[in-house]
Structure 1
């Protein structure tokens, strides 16, 4: 039986000074459209951040294009096989920042950032008691899966991090801190900011959780739950050594790993749900949403 996947998902980024980001964005959009890729790619004066999907042939074409690009030739691509496109559309946009931090000051991670750790080095530090492990993602991502013993940041978006760090980590500026995120990009700016704020010993997982989960030596060890991803897959497995479910159903609190958006589009609240509650609550996060959605649909039908 042929189990080879016909599609691939690419995850990548690079902090690099771009003098003409609007022009680079337009050219990039034209190239991606011609190739037939789907996904989200953000370009700004500080670099590029992308995740996209396509057939093996299409992704090979894109990687070849990037390998010949004067700014992006040395980008490291994290590649996942998939059954089809992981996105419905293609969006290539110029942004003020490739990740929204709104720090109020310009930092350049490609010039100064935390020490990069290989999966093996990160794994070894996870097992030490005197190391602080900081999840560099949003709280809802942590709830689905995280490294064992990691601090859960009480942030809903990346731009909430500076205030949270000032209020919660200020007393640990002389401690050894290791950070991680999905593919590595958020930790670049996170550790750059922490160094700017006076933290002495800050490191980051090179390539993020995605790379860690594929490393043949560590095999995703000590990552509990699943990895939240920002595409149609929603979650992917990481730990090849043991399977631990850390997510809890929004309704009943039992172990669960399925993330859904509330069926009521005006609410659209994302929550973890077990199979029983998903069926019982018909995809809504609360009874009020189901009632309002029925009223809305009835109103549309009457008109």
Structure 2
């Protein structure tokens, strides 16, 4: 079994480039794979490896000034869910495109998973799923609003168009692991929303801690690795990924006439040119021959 750690932490990182090589070398030496993103606002990512390897990487990051309180969500995988290790430098650790948003300075109130059901069952609370449309398509909390966004960068515009609907309401927000809510609740506080809360630890922590019989979650939670989705108890959700459009598919979707492995699914059947399809077929043949990492 491999230990999978999903982590993020907002803290000043003045020179992320100076941290990159050392972090990458440590991960590679420990046999850890996945993706970590560094920016001047902090770190974000998911990695997998042996328990000792993950512990070494986490200890390394927590030794950076301001990162002592780094937290993470753990799950397990029977097979290594990542092909290689990447440490990337970006302007933001999760892209919202709102430079005035500062989750270190202000953020919505955290709600523990054990208290989340009571919050979202309150009729005076508006519950908003901050994830992308393809993630929401396979699972969400009952009654949650789907903004229909294809990227997190679209959320501020969606809020501007819809804020009037939620006047006087408490706003409760959630996402996969918590990072998008750190920014979205900070954004709403800056927009003058007086009461905004979010699920501490995200959906993954809720699925880990709240018994299935008491859960208000329906479906599976999309994750950005080869497991594709998780459900209650952080068990595999059974979805696969369309390698053309990167959307999650239920097992029965592979029986649909539009499906061609590695090339298309019913969701993207009309989205690519024949030249694209030929390129996808070449890539699929390479994958079947074991030529892709």
Smaller-chain TM-score range?
0.7 to 0.9
Match of 2:180 in 1: 186
> Does the 8 Å CA contact 1:214/1:220 hold for their aligned counterparts?
no
Root-mean-square deviation (CA, aligned residues, Å) is: 2.7
Shift of 1:69: 3.2
What SS is found at the alignment partner of 1:58?
helix
Match of 1:282 in 2: 260
Give distance in 1, aligned partners of 2:280 and 2:13: 47
Match of 1:82 among 70, 74, 77: 77
- 1:69 to 2:64 alignment: yes
Question: What count of residue pairs does the alignment treat as equivalent?
Answer: 274
The runs of 5 or more residues in structure 1 that have no matched partner are 1-5, 246-256
- 1:10 to 2:5 alignment: yes
- 1:270 to 2:270 alignment: no
Shift of 1:127: 1.8
> Does the 8 Å CA contact 1:220/1:238 hold for their aligned counterparts?
no
> Does the 8 Å CA contact 2:222/2:248 hold for their aligned counterparts?
no
What SS is found at the alignment partner of 1:107?
coil
Shift of 1:259: 4.2
What SS is found at the alignment partner of 2:165?
helix
> Does the 8 Å CA contact 1:101/1:159 hold for their aligned counterparts?
yes
Shift of 1:279: 6.2
Shift of 1:291: 7.0
Instruction: Return the TM-score normalized by structure 1.
Output: 0.81
1:1-303 matches, within 5 Å, as: 6-103=1-98, 105-215=99-209, 221-238=215-232, 258-261=239-242, 265=244, 268=245, 270=247, 272-275=249-252, 277-278=254-255, 280=257, 281-283=259-261, 284-285=264-265, 293=277
Q: Deviations for 1:136-181, whole angstroms, at most 9, x for unmatched residues?
A: 1011111110000000111000000000111122331421010000
Closer/same/farther in 2, CA of residues 196 and 94 from structure 1, 3 Å limit = same
> Does the 8 Å CA contact 1:109/1:189 hold for their aligned counterparts?
yes
Match of 2:289 in 1: none
What SS is found at the alignment partner of 1:77?
strand
Give distance in 2, aligned partners of 1:9 and 1:130: 37
The runs of 5 or more residues in structure 2 that have no matched partner are 286-293
